Amino acid sequence: MQFQLNESQQALQATVRRFAREQLTGLARELEEKDESLPDEWMKRYAELGVFGINVPEQYGGHGLSHFDAVLVLEEFARVSSAVAMPVFEANFGPMAVLVHFGPEELKNRVIPRVCKGELVVAVTMSEPDAGTALTDLRTRGEVHKDRVVISGNKRWCSGAGHAGGYLVYCRMSDAPGAAGIGAVYVEKNTKGLRFGKREELMGFRGIMTADMAFDEVEVPLENIVLPAGNFRKLMEAFDLERCGNTTMSIGIAAGAFEYALQYVQERKQFGKPLVDFQAVQIKLAEMAMKVEAARLLLHKAVLEAGDGLPTMLASSMAKCFANEIVREVAGTAMQLMGGYGYSRQFDIERHLRDAWGWGIAGGTIDVQKTNIAAALVGRRFDQRR
């Protein structure tokens, strides 16, 4: 088992880390203040840097690297902020995993190269007013009529709604009950009948568009069917990779908060000496460092075991669950170490703490991950309806 990065991975990490720290800190504060998504000119700069489609095969315009390389890059962006990291997350995880591993060739060739060039953002829309954790209760329908798919229904909590140019829509594509009737369709933003609701005002995640979506007999060609009914299992297998992206966002926030606090306690003096000279502060620093490193190791295990495929539910849920828990603890401790300065909006820690809580909700709550872990351990799913 190798814990050291190879030379190319070290170079990749160093390049991205330098870019993130030198170029994105001010941008992150600007996006936070204005609550705006990453501007198009920055999307082009990201694409030139090569951070889109890292783990996408070269035949579709990607770099053909591993999931491990992708999480190395994403962590460096997430250390700065969720807003500057979100485009990297979307272009390497989530809906991209579904398209790359299960999408039809024509759709792959039409969509994925544009994502890798920074010309297109694809978001996923899954949850509904009455179908969040209970995703198999979703009601949005995608009915086939001759050479078209007609989609009708409502979606909730869509990150990227109104900002992304394309959407992977989970919908009911047959009358089969539960998971058996669910598939996925690709819908472009300007398609007639697609409407976006009022932007959500969230505790954190500023700079990340979140809103409802309404589908009023939205028509798309049959070629836009990503997976027909009966493939819910494949959608969830791809979602295991998205969990790893979520995990990376949590680790990046935690690492960024720890680094911020570590520097602060060495510079800030009280009672005539730096804060770091107090044993109580030393203990907190040690605990923070251990939690971040342990979370990172769980993540690396999940993606390295997956190879060119997709992570297991057990590995991805363990990594996400642990990272979602420790990021809240680490960011909270960082704020406490900084005292009043940590609570001030003039510094980045309060943003880290607000974003930290969001990742333990997005993509399946912490407790849901624990039920996933238990299900994997005993070898069967638990019916929460009985």
Q: What is the full DSSP assignment across 100-147?
A: HHHS-HHHHHHHHHHHHTTS--EEEE--BTTBSSSGGG---EEEEETT
**How far apart (Å, rounded) are the C-alpha atoms in residues 55 and 152?**
33
Query: pLDDT for 143-199, tens place per residue?
Result: 999 999 999 999 999 999 999 999 999 999 999 999 999 999 999 999 999 999 999
Domain 7-116 falls under CATH 1.10.540.10: yes
Domain locations in the chain?
7-116, 122-229, 233-378
Share of the chain above pLDDT 70, in %: 100
Q: What residues have CB less than 8 Å from 32, skipping those under 6 apart?
A: 81, 83, 206, 207, 351
DSSP category for residue 202: -
Long-range contacts from 131-135, C-beta under 8 angstroms, 24+ separation: 132/156, 132/157, 133/364, 133/365, 133/368, 134/384, 135/170
Q: What is the pLDDT of residue 37?
A: 93
Mean pLDDT score, 62-69: 97
In the predicted structure, residue 34 carries a pLDDT above the cut 80: yes
Q: What's the fold here for domain 233-378?
A: Butyryl-CoA Dehydrogenase, subunit A; domain 3 (1.20.140)
Q: What is the pTM of this model?
A: 0.95
Q: What is the pLDDT of residue 3?
A: 87
Q: What residues have CB less than 8 Å from 285, skipping those under 6 apart?
A: 258, 261, 262, 265, 276
SS3 206: coil
SS3 211: strand
Tokens of 190: 């300007």
**How far apart (Å, rounded) are the C-alpha atoms in residues 355 and 367?**
18
**How far apart (Å, rounded) are the C-alpha atoms in residues 165 and 186?**
11
Confidence of residue 292 (pLDDT cuts 50, 70, 90): very high
Mean pLDDT score, 88-117: 96
Mean pLDDT of the chain: 96
SS3 160: coil
How large is the angle between the packed helices 313-338 and 366-378, nearest 10 degrees?
150
- Angle at 255 (CA atoms; ends 249, 261), nearest 5 degrees: 135
Query: pLDDT for 309-368, tens place per residue?
Result: 999 999 999 999 999 999 999 999 999 999 999 999 999 999 999 999 999 999 999 999
Assign domain 122-229 to its CATH architecture: Beta Barrel (2.40)
Query: pLDDT for 256-279, tens place per residue?
Result: 999 999 999 999 999 999 999 999
